[in-house]
Structure 1
Amino acid sequence: MNTAAAFDRGARRYDLMVGLNPGYHRELARAADALTSRLGREPQALLDLACGSGASTRALVDAAPEGSYVLGLDASPGMLGRARAKNWPQQVRFERATVGELNLDRWTRGSFDGALACYLFRNVPAERRDHAIAEVFELLRPGGWLCCQEYSVAGNPAAQRVWGAVAHGAIIPLGVVIDRNPGLYRYLYRSVVEFDSVTTFADRLAAAGFVDVAHRTASGWQQGVLHTFIARKPEESS
């Protein structure tokens, strides 16, 4: 499936769809706070990876110190168009890029204080996932932080049942009625089912060189289904 094209098609209705998810924006805000609370209170240089239509970017801007530079990257031109159309501080900008296929020479390695990646890595093919994490590691300064938010149900039968019920009872039907784009939402269901377990993804972060790797689950219906991971690039990396 061409995920960028599928998200292009769904861009017009995507904000409405995610807004129907109880706790969606609350959990984005919690992830952004988990990242920015570990950084200084001076303006920061921040990445929003897989920024989509800008919901995670808004959470990051709201949580970051005033004057912080925020660069949103996404593979979908349609989503980027939606993001750019919103009102932003002058230090916020958006570019098209695919994590896992980044041209790191386009940005200075080690120049970002923190990176937020919400619902990114399950959309990266498993065979390129470690490479994608390594790209983010390269872009962060020594001591910089990465915060990832991902749905993960592998190895958790209770979470799998919840995710299956929500996806088939609400997400996919709403994708048919509201967005007329069921293929995207069927893909999103499968991408969660097929994604790493919590332990496997945390191990990927550690294998890439990150330290202080930790994770917590969300509240509400997403408990055990949605997880926030935090990890730090060492001050001195080899």
Structure 2
Amino acid sequence: MPLLRDEGLAAAFDHASRSYDTLVAANPGYHAHLRRSARRLGLSHSRGALRVLDLGCGTGASTAALATVLPDAEITAVDASAGMLERAAGKPWRDGVTFVQAPAERLAEAGVRGPFDAVFAAYLFRNVADPDAVLDAVREALAPGGRLAVHEYTLSGRAAHRAVWTGVCRGLVLPVATALGDGTLYRHLWRSVVEFDTASDFAARVRSAGFQDVRALPLPGWQTGITHTIVARRPGTAAETGR
């Protein structure tokens, strides 16, 4: 069975949106890790009115992490799934947080335009049909010197870490998701990690897209060797934009 893509994947997320928050809340460290990755952007709210793009915001967990870490930032949160976005937008948010429905590949068509000081992408890149095209779009959306943080299930390459991921999915996640009627989506999510880049391969992909200062940083807990933050910077300096 091929991986879900485009409209099929968005529809699967639409269906799963009603129980998504419940499932991720059972994942130890899920929200704390998103906040850690948001801090790894290396931005300070003392810099003034930062513009941040939350790409693939889902039900808003990544948006909440950004809003906590950067309380004064203007955050544009984007997702292709109408169901996930409805859940996100229905939560209480401070001023300066907006939600837009759009695929990551077609931001400009939805009126999402840079320059942004930072782009945050959580659990996105392994689910897009063309990650290189999305990286190109992210690079164009960033201001010179702008930061990228990709929070993603990217395996270390070690067999033990792959075994832990498969064991957690088959033993815990898939049985629950199947009982909720979302087995197809979560089987896709399991396979999307196994078949995607390792952390080092994805870091190399980011470098090839023209980013600098690329690093793959581990996260603690059972996700060690399974989830990483890949941080990078668009070449240039923020001063070139007058920001």
TM-score between the two structures when normalised by the length of structure 1: 0.92
CA distance in 2 between partners of 1:24 and 1:101 (Å)? 28
1:55 paired with 2:57, answer no
Q: Contact 1:154/1:194 (CA < 8 Å) preserved in 2? A: no
1:69 is matched with: 74
Task: Specify whether residues 184 and 20 from structure 1 end up closer, same or farther in structure 2 by C-alpha distance, changes over 3 A only.
Answer: same
Q: Contact 1:112/1:140 (CA < 8 Å) preserved in 2? A: yes
1:117 is matched with: 121
1:163 paired with 2:165, answer yes
| Aligned ranges 1:209-228 → 2 under 5 Å | 209-228=210-229
Q: How many angstroms does 1:104 deviate by?
A: 6.3
Q: How many angstroms does 1:40 deviate by?
A: 5.5
CA deviation map 1:118-146 (0-9, x unaligned) = 00000012xx1111101000000001000
Q: How many angstroms does 1:182 deviate by?
A: 0.8
1:132 is matched with: 134
CA distance in 2 between partners of 1:14 and 1:168 (Å)? 17
Q: Contact 1:43/1:65 (CA < 8 Å) preserved in 2? A: no
- 1:59 partner letter: A
1:101 is matched with: 106
Task: Please identify runs of 4+ aligned residues in structure 1 that moved more than 4 A.
Answer: none
TM-score between the two structures when normalised by the length of structure 2: 0.91
Equivalent of residue 3 in structure 1, options 9, 17, 22: 9
- 1:151 partner letter: Y
Q: Secondary structure at the match of 2:118?
A: strand
Q: Secondary structure at the match of 1:155?
A: coil
CA distance in 1 between partners of 2:218 and 2:11 (Å)? 30
1:200 is matched with: 201
CA distance in 2 between partners of 1:141 and 1:39 (Å)? 16
1:147 is matched with: 149
CA distance in 2 between partners of 1:168 and 1:15 (Å)? 19
Q: Secondary structure at the match of 1:100?
A: helix
CA distance in 2 between partners of 1:195 and 1:102 (Å)? 23
CA deviation map 1:207-226 (0-9, x unaligned) = 11110001111111100000
Q: Contact 2:53/2:116 (CA < 8 Å) preserved in 1? A: yes
Q: How many angstroms does 1:180 deviate by?
A: 2.2
CA distance in 2 between partners of 1:214 and 1:90 (Å)? 32
Q: Could you tell me the percent identity over the aligned residues?
A: 42
- 2:203 partner letter: A
CA distance in 2 between partners of 1:76 and 1:156 (Å)? 33
CA RMSD of aligned residues (A): 1.6
CA deviation map 1:150-193 (0-9, x unaligned) = 1122632111101010000111011123x321111111101101
CA deviation map 1:102-129 (0-9, x unaligned) = 33683334x100011000000012xx11
> Any stretches of 5+ residues in structure 1 without a counterpart?
none
1:32 paired with 2:38, answer yes
2:95 is matched with: 90
Q: Contact 2:107/2:113 (CA < 8 Å) preserved in 1? A: no
CA distance in 1 between partners of 2:88 and 2:113 (Å)? 24
CA distance in 2 between partners of 1:205 and 1:143 (Å)? 15
Q: Contact 2:154/2:228 (CA < 8 Å) preserved in 1? A: yes
